[in-house]
Amino acid sequence: MNRINKVLETKKNILSIYFTAGYPNLDDTEKIIHELSKSNVDMIEIGLPFSDPLADGPTIQKSSTIALKNGMSTENLFVQLKNIRNKTNIPLIIMGYFNPILQFGVEKFCKSCNDVGIDGMIIPDLPVDIYEKKYKPLFDKYSLLNMFLITPQTSDKRIKFIDKVSNGFIYMVSSFSITGAVNSFGFEQKNYFKRINKMNLKSKLLIGFGISNSSTFKDAIENSNGAIIGSAFINFLKENKIEDIGKFIQLIRG
């Protein structure tokens, strides 16, 4: 069984952490994964930096710019992850835009993911229709799950189609905006969480965009299977040592 599905089936209140590969320093990727794994997070999303990350807020955009300046590339990432499965069994997901994957070669990318032990992908700008028609067989061949995003504006028909195609979790974007941390969720967002939860989809739901503290984490897990934290963690890395990651996770868990 894919490691992502194992977590989805066996754990509640899932916490997934996103960070940008090559940030703050080029060789920090493996160290951050190791510390997150020690801190008992449930899944890790490794951001593949891109020069034009349209869905990302200023915090993640800046981390991508720094990572690229540091010399991070698709090739470097796979070199850095070469022995990662000797050190952790935690589900690992690469989150990135389709252009770098296309330039690298889609099958070559999928094979490289399989070789180093990546469990799945999140590609915000790859529509589910195109994925199903053109790329799903490749992902299946290399045992990769592909997770899709939905927003408050996504129609019920589209959500049901995404649910049908999905074999991992659905990434439930908390608001129709770019990524970024907030202190609390409003009435409309909470109603949106409840509405999607009542659709009784086959796929598990993880909420992302805006999760930044124990309060927003608790709001998210009330109406989903878990939450994803990105910008708040990037901000933490900017101000703190990698060895202190456990303290951040403790604050989120509450």
CB atoms within 10 A of CB 161: 16
Sorted by sequence, the CB contacts under 8 Å of residue 126 that are 6+ apart come out as: 98, 135, 146
CA nearest to 121, candidates 176, 168, 184, 172: 168
CB atoms within 10 A of CB 225: 22
Catalytic residue among 28, 35, 42, 56: 56
The verdict on whether 56 is a catalytic residue reads yes
The verdict on whether 45 is a catalytic residue reads yes
Q: Concatenated DSSP letters for 73-96?
A: -HHHHHHHTTTGGGT--S-EEEE-
Catalytic residue among 28, 35, 42, 45: 45
State the pairing for strand pair 145-147/149-150: unpaired
Q: Give start and end residues of each alpha helix (H) in 142-243.
A: 156-165, 187-197, 214-222, 231-239
What positions carry a catalytic annotation? 45, 56
